[in-house]
C-alpha cells in the first residue's frame, strides 16, 4: 500500500474537513462490488441471460413493493424477533438491492429511495442513544447488538457506493460526517470489546468499517478495518454473551487477523459451517471490495486463497439437500440456498477458476447476484456449462496452521451414506463439548443426529430469538452428542478456558479405497487420565444391501468409570434383541451436564454378546449392532425433562452404559437397510444382515472386530493402535489365523 | 340375466366335467378388464402416447426383472411382514402385469411366465393345508388370512384371462379343477365367516370368486359372487379380529349387498377413505369386468353410479398432497399415488364422463393402466386436455340411504385451510369412537391431527404388520381425537355394538359463502343424558392474514361432569398466556380409555378469560384462542405412557379441562398465521391477531361468540341452536345491540 506523502494536500484536506484521500485522483463509483465495467457488461446483456433477467425481475418486485410501502426508520426498541429490528434489517437489505437496480436499470427512483432513506438515518443517528435492550455485551444503536449495526453498514456502504455519483459533495459530506463516520466509530473505537477480537462479530465489524472506508476513500478507517485498534484499553479475561473470551494475551485484531486465525489452510472455519456461512459474507464482500479498490494488497487471495477454499469447504459441509451439518451451534435447515451462499458461489465462480460444478449449485439456488459475477454465472448456465457438484469424502483440518484436529466427512456413492466425524478444536464461543462425536446421513436424511443449537433464531417469543439457556444446559453438553461421556461429566468439565487450549488429533484418514474409507482420531485431554481413540469406517460389503458404518471407540483410563455412549437415532423403535423395563412414570436420568434433560424410557441388559436395536426412519430401516458385555446397561432415553418452556425437541437415544471398566472398547455397526413406503405399503429388507459382531482381539497394539453376516460370511477389521504409518508392516494372529498387512488397518473377508 | 335352459347341454357339460357355460357360445378372451377391441386400439397407438409408452416400459422393466429372477412359490409360512407373504403377493401382482404385457407386446415369454407360475401353484395347491399362522378369524392358504388369498385370485383371474387362449383345453381344465375352483370354494363356502358379510374383506372375496367365474364362464360361482352363500351356517354374534360382527340379524351378502350397504348415495364409504381406497379396487375391477362380460346386469352403474361417485368422494378426501384423511383406521401417508387409485382414476375417466380434471391427477400419478382406459387417459394428457383437479368444500353423507351423519370438508382458497369434520356413523369394525371430531390442514400440512391407526402395515417386526393392541387402547379411543371426552369415558363406553346403532346428525352445512363456511352437527347418544352440538366455521376476515377456524362446542347435560377437549397440535410450543406447572417426573394422566397413554407435561390455570396457546408447525405459526373460565384447567399432554414397545408416536396436545359443569359451551379459534424459514431466518407475523375471544350470549336458543382483533375490530358469530332452516328469521339482542338475520347463523362485523 502506498501511503500518500504530499503533506500540503493533507493539510488542505484537513482544513476542508475532508477525508484523507487514498489516492490523489478521486476513485470512480461504483467500484466496491459492482464495477463500472462490470455494470456496462450487465447492461449490454440485459434480456439475453434468463437467470440473470429473472433475478433482476425478482429483486425489482421486492424493492418496488418496499418503495410503495414507504420508508420507515423507527426508533429502535426490539430484540431480533420484533418489528424495529426486522424493519431496520429489511431497510439495509432493500437499500443494497435498490443500489444494484439503480446501476442496472438507471431508474432514478432507486437512487432517490436510497438517498431519502440515508438522510432519514442521518437525521436520526446524530442523537440516537445506545439501544434500550441491555442484554448484549456490545449494544448497538439501531439494533440490540453492534453485530447487527455492522450488518447494516456492510450493506449500506454498497447502497451508498451505488448512488455516490448522484449526490452532491455537500450531501456526501453530510452523510459521511453525521452518519457513516460516527457509525463506523461507534462500532469500532466505542466498542473495542466487539471490534477488536478474532471472532465472527469482529469480522462483521471490520468489514463494515472497511467497506465504508473504501467508499469514502478514508485511509484511517481502512487501517482500522484491516489492522484493528491499536490501543483498545481492554483488560484480559472479559466474556461475551456466549461465554467467549473478549481478550486473550497476544490477541490480534482487524480483518486480516480474522482472515488468518479462524480459517484453517483447508478453508475450515473453526466455529463450524453455520457460522462460516454467516461470516463468509463479510469476508468475501470486503475481500472483493479490496480486490477492486486495492488489488495490490492481495487481501482477496490472502493465505493461499483461503477465502475461495472456504467456499469449497462450506459447500462440502452440506448434506445431499444442501443443508449445513449442524456442528457446534448450528440451526438445522440452514442451507446453501441462503443469500450468503449465492454471494459465495457467484464470487467463487467469477474470481476463482470458473468451476462448472458451481453452476449446478447456482441453478438450484435459482438466483444470482446483480453484478458481473452473477452475470457470469447466469451466462455459464445459459450456455449449458453446468456440471453436477460432486461431493467426495474430505478431511478438513482445523486451526490456523491446520494442526488442531479437524472434521472428516466420509461419503459413499452419491451421498448415499455420509459420516461427519468431529475431532476439531473447541470452535471459539460457539463450540460444543463433543470431541470424537459424529452424525450420520443417508442422502438428505439424518440417521443419527447432531442436535444443533437450542435457539429459535429471530423468533421473538423464544427468548427474544436469542440463545436459550438450554443451549448451555443441553445443546453444548457432551451427553447431547454421539460421543463418550464419562462419569456423567462433560469433556473438559465443560470449561471453555480449558477446552480452548486443546484439540483432538488425527490418527489417520484414508479415503483412497472406495469401499473402505476410514477416519481415526484420539483425544487425551477431555477427561484427564483417560485416552479415547475412535475409529470410524464406511464400508460397502457385497453381503450388505447398503454401505454401513463401523465404529470403534477404544478407551484407556487409569481409573474405573461409568461410560455412556449414546446414539441419537431419528425415527421410531422397530425391534431389539434385549429385555428392558419400561417405567410407567418418567424421571430424569441425572441432575446436571445435560443428563437432567433426559428421561429414561427404558432400561435393560444385553441378552447376548451381540446387541441389536432397530428403528424406522423416514421410509428406511436402520439397525445398530454392538458388541456388549453382560454387565452393560442399555438405556432408552427421551429428551424433554426439566424443559418447562418446551424449548427442546422430544428426541430419543439408545445408550450403551458400561460401569466400572478402566480400559474398554466399544465396537458397533450402524447399518442402513431396506425401505418402507406408506403408499405401496411394501416393507423391504427390514432385518439387519448381521448375525454377530464381536471384538476378537484387543490390546495396546491391535484391536480386531469381526462381523458375521446372516449368510454366515465373516469379515474382519483390524486396527493398528500405535502406528498409523502407511508403510508400516503388521502381523497379527486372530483366532488362530495369521494376518499380515501394511498400513494402519486391514479389512478382509476372513 | 338369462339362464340357459338347454338341459341336454348341461348334461353333456357335466359329463365332460366342464363348467356350466353362461352362454351357449364360448366367450372371447381377454374380456375381463382388457377387451379384444381395447387391446387392438392399444397396439395401434404404441409409440404415439408418451405416458402410456412410459407405463408399458416401466411395467416391462419390472416384469422382466422378475422373470429373470425365476418363479418362486414358497410354502406359506409368514405374516404380512415376512418373505413368503411378500413373495406370493409379488407373484400375483407381477402375473397380472405380465398378462397385460403379453396382450400388448405379444411376446410369448410373458404368457409362458404366467402359465409356469399357475402350474406351480396348481401343483402346490392340491395338498396345501391352511396357513400355519393362527391369528386370523379366517385363515387363508397362501396367506395368513383369506383376505390376501382373495387378492391373489382377483389378480390371477386377470392373468389367466390374458393367456386363456394360449392354453389347451386340457391345461385349462387342470388349472380350473385343481386350482381356481378349489381356491374359490375355499375362500367362500369353506370360510363363510369371511365371505358372507358386508365388509371390505367380503368385497374382496366376492370379487375374487366373481372374477374367476367370469373367466371360467361359471354361473354357479358368479351367483355366489353376486348374491353370497344362501345357507352359511353362521351363528349370530361372532367377531372378527378387529372386533367387527361376523353376522348380524337380516345380514345380506355378496357383491351387490357390499355395493349397496357401505356406500352412501354420495359415494362415501362408511369405513373411511383408507379402507375405501383398499376396497375400491375389487369394486371397480369386478364392476368393470361385469360391464364387459354382462353389461345387461348394470352392476357397474348400480345404485345411481355409486362406484364412480365413490372415486370422486375418495379424491375429495385427500389433503393438498393427495394423502387421504386418516379417518377411523387409516395409515398416514397413503395417497392417490397408490396403484388402486391409478385404476380408479383411469376407469372413472374412461367409463365416466371423461372429466378433464382427472387427467391432472393421472399426470401426477405419472402412470396409467395398461388397457383401453389407461390409453384414453394418456391420450387425453398428450392432447393437452388436463385441467387442475379443484377440491371444493364438500359434505359427504354416510349410511346406505345417506341418513347416518357424514363427513364435512370445508376448504378455503386453493386448499389453504381445510377442515375435516366427522359426524358419521361408526364405520364398521374400523371405526373410531370420535363423534364430532375434526382435523385441520394448511395445504398438505397437518395443523391439528387425527392420529390415524396404531399399526405398521406389513412391517413384520411390529406385531406381524397387523393391528397393534395400542390401536384399541389408544387410536380408537375418544381422548385420542380432537373432540369432547366426558368423565374420561369413551363415546358409547367404547362399545362397538352400541356405537354401531347410532350416528351423529347434521344440523346444517353451508358452503355457499366463500368467506364464511359452516358445518354443524349434534350427537345425543355418545354419552347418555348429554347432548353435544359442535359448530365449525372456516372464516376469512380481512383483519386476519389467513383464514381461521371457529369452533363452538355446546354441551347440555343432566349431570355434572368433567369435560376434556384436546387439540392435537403439530409442532413445537411457542408461547402461551397462562401459568402452568411443569412436573420433573412424568405420570400418566389416567388409567384407561386412552388416558393411560398420555403423560402430563404441564398443568395450569387461565390467567385471563381469553386463553392463548401458540406453536410453530412446519415453518408456519398457529395460535389457539379459547374463551376460558377461571376454574378451567389447562393441560399439556404427551403421548407415550404405558407404551413399552414404542408403538406410539410422542405427539403432544393442549387440553381444556372443565370440571363440574352440566351445561357448558367451549368456543375457540384456531388461527394460522405467518411463517418462518430456517434459510432466510425471517420470522413473519408470529403473533395472533386476536385480542379477545368471548361467549357474549349463550342460552338454549342462541349462542354468540365475539372475536376482537388486536386492531380493536370486533366480529360476531351468532348461532341459532334450535332451528337450522334457511328461511327462518331470527332476532337477538347482544350487549344492547339488536341483530336480525335469516338462516341458522349470522357472522358480522359488530
Clarify whether residues A413 and A376 are in a common domain.
Answer: no
- Chain-centre distance of CA A244, in angstroms? 17
Question: In chain B, what's the furthest Cα-to-Cα distance?
Answer: 92
Clarify whether residues A373 and A426 are in a common domain.
Answer: no
Question: Span B232-240, mean pLDDT?
Answer: 80
A181 is written with which cell numbers?
Answer: 463516520
Of A646, A652, A686, the CB nearest to B459: A686
Tell me if A24 is assigned to some domain: no
Q: What residues of B are in contact with residue A681 (Cβ under 8 Å)?
A: 331, 334, 457-458
Determine, for residues B686 and A461 on separate chains, whether the beta-carbon distance falls below 8 Å: yes
Residue B4, pLDDT above cutoff 50? no
Report the distance separating Cα A556 and Cα A661, nearest Å: 9
Q: What is the Rg, in whole angstroms, of the alpha carbon atoms belonging to chain A? A: 28
B354 is written with which cell numbers?
Answer: 371423461
Q: What residues of B are in contact with residue A458 (Cβ under 8 Å)?
A: 681-683
Domain boundary among A355, A382, A409: A382
Clarify whether residues B375 and B491 are in a common domain.
Answer: no
Determine, for residues A681 and B645 on separate chains, whether the beta-carbon distance falls below 8 Å: no
| Contact (Cβ atoms closer than 8 angstroms) between residue A449 and residue A319 | no
Q: What residues of A are in contact with residue B277 (Cβ under 8 Å)?
A: none
Determine, for residues B588 and A585 on separate chains, whether the beta-carbon distance falls below 8 Å: yes
Question: Span B265-273, mean pLDDT?
Answer: 96
Domain boundary among B358, B373, B391: B391
Residue B623, pLDDT above cutoff 60? yes
| Contact (Cβ atoms closer than 8 angstroms) between residue A357 and residue A390 | yes
Clarify whether residues B427 and B381 are in a common domain.
Answer: no
Domain boundary among B634, B660, B688: B688
Q: Best of B586, B616, B645 to disrupt the A interface by mutation (most A CBs within 10 Å)? A: B586
pLDDT of residue A232: 82
Clarify whether residues A544 and A590 are in a common domain.
Answer: yes
Closest residue in A to B81 (Cα) is A683
B203 by DSSP, 3-state: which? helix
pLDDT of residue B21: 42
pLDDT of residue A14: 41
A430 catalytic per annotation: yes
| Contact (Cβ atoms closer than 8 angstroms) between residue A566 and residue A479 | yes
Of A585, A645, A650, the CB nearest to B587: A585
Closest CA to B208 of B225, B190, B220: B225
Catalytic site residue from A430, A432, A481, A673: A430
Catalytic site residue from A275, A281, A336, A599: A275
Determine, for residues B681 and A616 on separate chains, whether the beta-carbon distance falls below 8 Å: no
Q: Closest approach of chain A CAs to the CA of B253, in angstroms?
A: 29
Give the DSSP letter string of A495-525. Answer: -HHHHTT-B-EEEEEEEEETTEEEEEEEESS
Instruction: Return the H-helix or E-strand segment holding B448.
Output: strand B445-448
Residues 6+ apart with CB under 8 A from B16: none
Q: Closest approach of chain B CAs to the CA of A187, in angstroms?
A: 24
Determine, for residues B683 and A646 on separate chains, whether the beta-carbon distance falls below 8 Å: no
Q: Looking at B56-70, B188-202, B471-485, which range is the least confident one? A: B188-202
Domain range for B171 is: 1-30+71-229+252-261
Determine, for residues A461 and B643 on separate chains, whether the beta-carbon distance falls below 8 Å: no
Helices (H) then strands (E): counts for chain A: 19, 27
Instruction: Return the H-helix or E-strand segment holding B242.
Output: none
Closest residue in B to A643 (Cα) is B582
pLDDT < 50: residue spans in chain A: 1-25, 750
B273 by DSSP, 3-state: which? helix
Tell me if A74 is assigned to some domain: yes
Q: What residues of B are in contact with residue A365 (Cβ under 8 Å)?
A: none
Tell me if B45 is assigned to some domain: no
What percent of chain B has a predicted confidence (pLDDT) above 90?
Answer: 89
Q: How confident is the model at residue B18 (pLDDT cuts 50, 70, 90)?
A: very low
Residue B58 Cα distances to A676, A680, B332, angstroms: 20, 16, 27
Determine, for residues A459 and B616 on separate chains, whether the beta-carbon distance falls below 8 Å: yes
B275 catalytic per annotation: yes
Clarify whether residues A156 and A128 are in a common domain.
Answer: yes
Tell me if A444 is assigned to some domain: yes
Q: Closest approach of chain A CAs to the CA of B46, in angstroms?
A: 28
Clarify whether residues A669 and A646 are in a common domain.
Answer: yes
Taken as a whole, chain A contains a residue count of 750
Q: Closest approach of chain A CAs to the CA of B608, in angstroms?
A: 19
Domain count for chain A, please give it.
2
Of A81, A465, A584, the CB nearest to B588: A584
Clarify whether residues A373 and A400 are in a common domain.
Answer: no
* Cβ atoms within 10 Å, residue A165: 11
Q: Best of B324, B456, B570 to disrupt the A interface by mutation (most A CBs within 10 Å)? A: B456
Tell me if B247 is assigned to some domain: no
pLDDT of residue A7: 40
Report the distance separating Cα A84 and Cα B615, nearest Å: 23
Report the distance separating Cα B407 and Cα B398, nearest Å: 7
Tell me if B85 is assigned to some domain: yes
* Edge-to-edge order in the sheet of strand B445-448: B394-397, B406-412, B417-423, B437-442, B445-448
Of A333, A335, A678, the CB nearest to B332: A678
Report the distance separating Cα B148 and Cα B90, nearest Å: 12
Closest CA to B280 of B215, B213, B207: B207
* Edge-to-edge order in the sheet of strand B610-616: B505-513, B516-523, B530-539, B548-557, B664-673, B621-627, B610-616, B572-576
Residue B94, domain CATH? 1.50.10.100
Tell me if B716 is assigned to some domain: no
Clarify whether residues B562 and B579 are in a common domain.
Answer: yes
Q: How confident is the model at residue B26 (pLDDT cuts 50, 70, 90)?
A: low
Q: Peptide bond before A395: cis, by omega within 30 degrees of 0?
A: no
A15 by DSSP, 3-state: which? helix
Inter-chain CB pairs, A–B, below 8 Å: 125
Residue A493, domain CATH? 2.70.98.70
Residue B233, pLDDT above cutoff 90? no
Report the distance separating Cα B664 and Cα A471, nearest Å: 43
| Contact (Cβ atoms closer than 8 angstroms) between residue B93 and residue B370 | no
Determine, for residues A333 and B678 on separate chains, whether the beta-carbon distance falls below 8 Å: yes
Q: What is the Rg, in whole angstroms, of the alpha carbon atoms belonging to chain B? A: 28
Determine, for residues B679 and A337 on separate chains, whether the beta-carbon distance falls below 8 Å: yes
| Contact (Cβ atoms closer than 8 angstroms) between residue B482 and residue B568 | yes
Report the distance separating Cα A486 and Cα A413, nearest Å: 35
Of A81, A334, A574, the CB nearest to B683: A81
Report the distance separating Cα B136 and Cα B134, nearest Å: 6
Q: What is the mean pLDDT of chain B?
A: 94
Closest residue in A to B580 (Cα) is A644
**B567-587: b or e for each residue (b if 16 or more CB lie within 10 Å)?**
bbbbbbbbbbebebebeeebe
Report the distance separating Cα B118 and Cα B116, nearest Å: 5
Closest residue in A to B581 (Cα) is A644
Report the distance separating Cα A303 and Cα B57, nearest Å: 56
pLDDT of residue A250: 78
Tell me if A21 is assigned to some domain: no
Residues 6+ apart with CB under 8 A from B261: B198, B252, B400
Q: What residues of B are in contact with residue A337 (Cβ under 8 Å)?
A: 679
Clarify whether residues B634 and B670 are in a common domain.
Answer: yes
pLDDT of residue B540: 97
Clarify whether residues A323 and A409 are in a common domain.
Answer: no
Clarify whether residues A667 and A560 are in a common domain.
Answer: yes
Instruction: Return the H-helix or E-strand segment holding A253.
Output: none
Q: What residues of B are in contact with residue A650 (Cβ under 8 Å)?
A: 638, 650, 652
Amino acid at each position: 500500500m502506498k501511503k500518500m506523502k504530499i503533506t500540503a494536500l493533507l493539510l488542505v484536506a484537513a482544513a476542508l474537513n475532508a477525508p484523507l484521500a487514498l489516492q490523489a485522483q478521486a476513485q470512480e463509483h461504483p467500484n466496491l462490488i459492482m464495477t463500472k465495467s462490470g455494470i456496462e457488461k450487465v447492461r449490454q446483456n440485459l434480456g439475453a441471460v434468463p437467470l440473470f433477467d429473472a433475478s433482476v425481475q425478482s429483486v425489482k418486485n421486492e424493492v418496488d413493493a418496499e418503495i410503495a410501502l414507504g420508508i420507515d426508520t423507527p426508533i429502535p426498541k426490539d430484540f431480533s424477533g420484533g418489528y424495529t429490528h426486522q424493519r431496520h434489517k429489511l431497510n439495509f437489505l432493500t437499500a443494497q438491492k435498490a443500489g444494484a437496480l439503480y446501476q442496472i436499470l438507471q431508474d432514478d427512483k432507486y437512487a432517490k429511495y436510497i438517498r431519502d432513506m440515508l438522510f432519514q438515518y442521518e437525521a436520526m443517528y446524530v442523537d440516537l442513544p445506545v439501544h434500550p435492550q441491555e442484554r448484549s455485551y456490545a449494544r448497538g444503536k439501531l439494533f440490540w447488538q453492534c453485530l447487527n449495526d455492522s450488518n447494516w453498514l456492510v450493506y449500506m456502504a454498497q447502497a451508498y457506493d451505488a448512488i455516490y455519483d448522484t449526490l452532491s459533495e455537500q450531501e456526501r459530506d453530510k452523510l459521511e460526517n453525521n452518519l457513516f463516520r460516527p457509525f463506523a466509530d461507534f462500532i469500532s473505537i466505542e466498542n473495542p470489546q466487539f471490534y477488536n477480537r478474532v471472532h465472527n462479530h469482529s469480522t462483521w465489524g471490520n468489514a463494515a468499517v472497511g467497506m465504508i472506508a473504501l467508499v469514502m476513500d478514508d485511509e484511517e478507517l481502512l487501517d482500522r478495518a484491516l489492522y484493528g485498534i491499536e490501543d483498545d484499553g481492554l483488560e484480559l479475561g472479559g466474556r461475551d454473551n456466549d461465554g467467549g473470551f473478549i481478550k486473550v494475551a497476544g490477541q490480534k485484531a482487524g480483518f486480516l487477523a480474522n482472515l488468518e486465525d479462524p480459517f484453517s489452510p483447508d478453508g475450515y472455519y473453526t466455529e463450524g459451517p453455520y457460522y462460516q456461512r454467516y461470516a463468509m459474507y463479510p469476508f468475501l464482500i470486503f475481500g472483493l471490495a479490496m480486490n477492486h479498490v486495492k488489488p495490490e494488497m492481495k487481501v482477496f487471495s490472502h493465505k493461499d486463497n483461503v477465502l475461495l477454499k472456504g467456499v469449497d469447504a462450506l459447500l462440502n459441509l452440506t448434506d445431499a439437500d444442501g443443508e449445513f451439518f449442524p456442528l457446534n451451534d448450528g440451526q438445522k435447515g440452514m442451507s446453501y440456498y441462503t443469500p450468503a451462499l449465492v454471494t459465495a458461489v457467484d464470487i467463487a465462480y467469477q474470481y476463482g477458476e470458473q468451476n462448472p460444478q458451481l453452476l449446478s449449485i447456482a441453478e438450484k439456488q435459482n438466483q444470482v447476484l446483480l453484478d458481473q459475477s452473477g452475470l457470469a454465472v447466469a451466462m455459464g448456465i445459459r450456455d449449458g456449462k453446468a456440471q453436477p457438484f460432486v461431493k467426495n469424502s474430505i478431511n478438513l483440518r482445523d486451526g490456523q496452521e491446520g494442526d488442531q484436529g479437524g472434521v472428516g466427512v466420509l461419503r459413499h456413492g452419491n451421498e448415499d451414506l455420509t459420516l461427519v466425524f468431529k475431532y476439531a478444536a473447541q470452535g471459539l464461543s460457539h463450540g460444543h463439548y463433543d470431541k470424537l462425536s459424529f452424525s450420520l446421513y443417508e442422502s438428505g436424511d439424518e440417521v443419527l443426529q447432531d442436535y444443533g443449537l437450542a435457539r429459535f433464531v429471530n423468533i421473538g417469543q423464544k427468548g427474544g430469538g436469542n440463545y436459550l439457556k438450554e443451549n448451555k444446559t443441553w445443546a453444548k453438553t457432551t451427553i447431547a452428542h454421539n460421543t463418550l461421556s464419562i462419569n456423567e461429566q462433560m469433556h473438559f468439565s465443560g470449561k471453555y478456558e480449558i477446552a480452548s487450549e486443546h484439540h483432538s488429533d488425527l490418527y489417520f484418514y484414508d479415503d483412497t479405497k472406495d469401499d473402505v474409507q476410514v477416519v481415526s482420531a484420539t483425544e487425551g485431554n477431555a477427561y484427564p487420565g483417560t485416552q479415547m481413540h475412535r475409529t470410524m469406517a464406511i464400508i460397502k460389503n457385497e453381503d450388505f444391501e447398503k454401505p454401513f458404518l463401523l465404529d470403534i471407540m477404544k478407551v484407556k483410563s487409569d481409573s474405573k468409570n461409568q461410560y455412556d455412549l449414546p446414539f441419537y437415532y431419528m425415527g421410531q423403535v422397530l425391534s431389539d434383541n434385549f429385555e428392558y423395563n419400561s417405567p410407567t412414570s418418567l424421571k430424569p436420568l441425572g441432575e446436571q451436564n445435560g443428563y437432567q434433560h433426559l428421561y429414561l424410557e427404558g432400561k435393560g441388559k444385553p441378552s447376548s454378546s451381540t446387541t441389536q436395536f432397530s428403528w424406522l426412519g423416514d421410509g428406511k430401516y436402520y439397525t445398530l449392532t454392538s458388541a456388549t458385555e453382560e454387565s452393560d446397561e442399555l438405556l432408552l432415553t427421551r429428551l424433554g425433562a426439566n424443559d418447562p418452556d418446551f424449548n427442546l425437541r422430544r428426541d430419543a437415544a439408545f445408550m450403551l452404559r458400561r460401569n466400572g471398566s478402566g480400559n474398554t472398547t466399544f465396537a458397533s455397526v450402524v447399518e442402513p437397510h431396506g425401505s418402507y413406503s406408506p403408499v405401496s405399503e411394501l416393507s423391504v429388507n427390514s432385518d439387519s444382515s448381521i448375525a454377530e459382531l464381536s471384538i476378537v482381539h484387543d490390546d495396546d497394539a491391535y484391536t480386531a472386530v469381526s462381523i458375521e453376516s446372516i449368510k454366515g460370511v465373516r469379515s474382519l477389521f483390524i486396527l493398528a493402535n500405535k502406528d498409523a504409518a502407511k508403510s508400516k508392516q503388521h502381523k497379527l494372529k486372530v483366532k488362530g489365523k495369521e494376518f499380515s498387512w501394511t498400513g494402519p488397518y486391514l479389512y478382509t473377508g476372513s
